[in-house]
């Protein structure tokens, strides 16, 4: 297989649609006039050729494979025609939101906290998204949760100077710094899947119930 994404420019779909339409009409007329079985084959040929028509909407793509071999990605918008034998896998290039579940993790001091993240992402490399991971959407969820767990363990929830802990960065008071670190961590994890992280930030942050009730 190819090692990375390559864009391809398929044939004009409108011209091919017009040709297929003429071929179909001509074969029907020929069969009616001459009763030849060859025209039936031409009718089936027109249906076969029609299977190569693809419609690509804005911010969408089609990953093309032929007998398991990657042949390229169509990112242009419009109606196109490709080899009817191609497997045409649709991958959206639109920005997507992921609002994670609230996770119970321990901060740097070992205190249990509840934390969630909001991630804005999109597919940048269709080859990696299609072939480097099993399911890129599930991969985003799993790796984002893993990044949040790791990040929470690196910083304390709050700055307890009176208890001998004086931290420059905390989860509660340094949201900008923490969000930047989170975005970097998530991007590194999702790079293998061809995912671009547009934004990553903490969506919810609080002590777990057992800590909150004791305060």
Domain shared by 134 and 175, yes or no: yes
The sheet carrying 78-81 orders its strands as: 11-12, 78-81, 53-56
Per-residue pLDDT tens digits for 151-168: 999 999 887 544 545 557
Q: Which of 151-160, 176-185, 196-205 has the lowest mean pLDDT?
A: 151-160
Domain shared by 100 and 201, yes or no: yes
Picking from 30, 62, 92, the residue at the C-terminal end of a domain is 92
In a domain, 184, yes or no: yes
pTM reported for the whole predicted model: 0.86
- Domain count for the chain: 2
Picking from 64, 92, 120, the residue at the C-terminal end of a domain is 92
pLDDT band of residue 169 (cuts 50, 70, 90) is confident
The yes-or-no verdict on residue 65 having pLDDT over 70 is yes
Domain shared by 68 and 148, yes or no: no
Domain shared by 111 and 158, yes or no: yes
Q: What is the DSSP letter of 7?
A: B
Provide the H-helix boundaries in the chain.
Answer: 13-34, 38-50, 126-131, 136-154, 175-190, 209-212
């Amino acid at each position: 297989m190819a090692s990375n994404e390559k864009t391809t420019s398929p044939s004009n779909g409108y011209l091919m649609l017009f040709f297929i339409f003429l071929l179909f009409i001509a074969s029907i007329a020929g069969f009616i006039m001459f009763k030849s079985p060859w025209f039936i084959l031409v009718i089936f040929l027109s249906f076969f050729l029609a299977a190569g028509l693809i419609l690509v909407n804005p911010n969408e793509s089609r990953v093309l494979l032929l007998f398991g071999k990657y042949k390229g990605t169509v990112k242009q918008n419009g109606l196109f025609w490709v080899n009817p034998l191609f497997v045409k896998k649709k991958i959206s290039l639109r920005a997507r939101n992921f609002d994670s579940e609230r996770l119970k993790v321990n901060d740097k001091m070992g205190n249990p906290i509840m934390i969630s993240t909001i991630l804005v992402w999109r597919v940048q490399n269709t080859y990696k998204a299609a072939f480097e991971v099993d399911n890129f959407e599930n991969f985003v969820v799993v790796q984002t949760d893993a990044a949040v767990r790791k990040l929470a363990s690196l910083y304390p929830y709050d700055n307890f100077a009176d208890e001998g802990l004086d931290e420059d960065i905390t989860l509660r008071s340094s949201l900008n710094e923490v969000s930047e670190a989170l975005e970097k961590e998530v991007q590194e994890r999702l790079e293998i899947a061809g995912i671009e992280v547009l934004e990553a930030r903490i969506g919810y942050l609080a002590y777990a119930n057992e800590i909150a009730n004791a305060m």
